[in-house]
Structure 1
Amino acid sequence: MKRFGIDINWQVIFCLLLSLAIVTGCTVQAAGPGTQERKDATVNFELLKAPYPAFVDDVAKSMKQKGGSKVIHKNGHTYVVIALGQRPSAGYSVIIDNVQHSDGKLVITYEEKKPQGMAASVITYPVTVVKMTKTDLPVKVKSKK
């Protein structure tokens, strides 16, 4: 179609705008300057944001497809990696609801946040990492559901 003497290809313009919408819809915004500190029931912890330390990143990548949780004790800290596994779109995330001592264990309760409204149709692998001072207590990770 010609408009104002310029040959306009609307399909190309539509594809560019769609690509721009998808790219800007898939950005991640950190909750603060790298980490978020919280204190629940005398348990101090941080939620780490990527990039993770190499040993944590290796574990997170190994859990990418299937999901689950893994506890790592290293350098005087305990790291708990929680992965949801493969999800069909953007907008999924792991929300830590509570970290507390209970019956001689450290219990981490999380919730799967699902996308609200429209979300980019890309496969994602939501993961979060909880970092705290090293503990010898058994760590139990459970979904809030």
Structure 2
Amino acid sequence: MRSILLLLSVVFMILAGCGNNASESENESSGGEKMKEKIAFETVEMQNAPKDIQATVQQKWLEKSTFTVPSDEDLYIIITRGEMPTGGYSVHIESIEKIDEELVVSYYYTDPKKDDMVTQAITKPIVIAKVDMTNARVNFKEIQKSAP
């Protein structure tokens, strides 16, 4: 009976050891680091965007928002700032990166300086970026950019 228990203990330790080695090798192969890849994008002016994109943007550009709209074989990434009291306000996309299975859109806002000459009209700052169609989840990340 004692030899059977000893044999079962040895088998259990061997099996448990194999399981641990498999998960360790998976972690080592991934290195615990996320796969990052810069994604090329094209900035599109509102008047040059497809009509379906223009229609969607016109419904949302009065408020601050981030969203995506698929159109044909492209995905449009849109960031609106909402209505601003004058010119000089803008939105910029710093980068789009694929990190594992998601796209991370890093963007920032700029405001006019106190002494800047600006248009005295209500403006609606917006940026539209076009990327190849993807099923990846899109996350928006506002970053702080220091003034030059």
Q: Work out whether the TM-score is over 0.5.
A: yes
Task: List structure 1 segments (4+ residues) > 2 angstroms apart after TM superposition.
Answer: none
The equivalent of 1:140 in structure 2 is 139
Deviation at 1:70, TM superposition (A): 1.5
Q: Report if the CA contact (8 A) 1:83-1:125 is conserved.
A: yes
Q: Which amino acid aligns with 1:114?
A: D
The equivalent of 2:16 in structure 1 is none
Deviations 1:84-133 (A, max 9, x none): 00111101111111110124210001111112322122111011111010
The 2-side partners of 1:43 and 1:90 are apart by: 30
What is the TM-score of this pair, normalised by structure 1?
Answer: 0.68
Please identify the structure whose Cα radius of gyration is greater: 2
The equivalent of 1:45 in structure 2 is 41
Deviation at 1:42, TM superposition (A): 3.3
Q: Report if the CA contact (8 A) 2:106-2:140 is conserved.
A: yes
Asked if 1:77 is matched to 2:80, the reply is: no
The 1-side partners of 2:54 and 2:125 are apart by: 13
The equivalent of 1:36 in structure 2 is none
SS at match of 1:61: helix
Taking every aligned residue pair, what percent have the same amino acid on both sides? 24
The equivalent of 1:112 in structure 2 is 109
What is the TM-score of this pair, normalised by structure 2?
Answer: 0.66
Q: Report if the CA contact (8 A) 2:38-2:95 is conserved.
A: no
- From 35, 55, 59, give the equivalent of 2:56: 59
The 2-side partners of 1:59 and 1:136 are apart by: 20
Asked if 1:121 is matched to 2:117, the reply is: no
Question: RMSD across aligned C-alpha pairs, in angstroms?
Answer: 1.6
The 2-side partners of 1:142 and 1:42 are apart by: 15
Q: Report if the CA contact (8 A) 2:53-2:71 is conserved.
A: no
The 1-side partners of 2:38 and 2:64 are apart by: 28
Q: Report if the CA contact (8 A) 1:56-1:81 is conserved.
A: no
- From 88, 96, 100, give the equivalent of 2:97: 100
